[in-house]
Amino acid sequence: MGYFAESFAELYNADGWIDMGMYIGAGSSMPGWYTVIASVMLVAILVKGNNDEQDHYK
């Protein structure tokens, strides 16, 4: 799944709790792709929403 850790045991050692992303895809290009997909979805939703709204006003 591209998660940042294989085991949590090391995190609880000294200096194991560090400043880094702890989400799926951390350290890879996946967050960027998620952002692109979410942005495209939002624009598409606005376009569809506007089309539906204009139909109501006809």
- Footprint of other proteins on this chain (CB under 8 A)? 11, 17-23, 26-27, 29, 31-32, 34-35, 38-39, 42, 46, 49-50, 53-54, 56-57
Task: Kindly give, in sequence order, each residue whose CB lies less than 8 Å from that of residue 10, ignoring residues fewer than 6 positions away.
Answer: 16
* Cβ distance to other proteins smaller for residue 9 or 18: 18
The length of the chain, given as a count of residues: 58
* Cβ distance to other proteins smaller for residue 9 or 32: 32
Q: What are the C-alpha distances in Å from 10 to residues 4, 24, 28? A: 12, 18, 21
Q: Could you tell me the smallest distance in angstroms from the CB atom of residue 6 to other proteins? A: 15
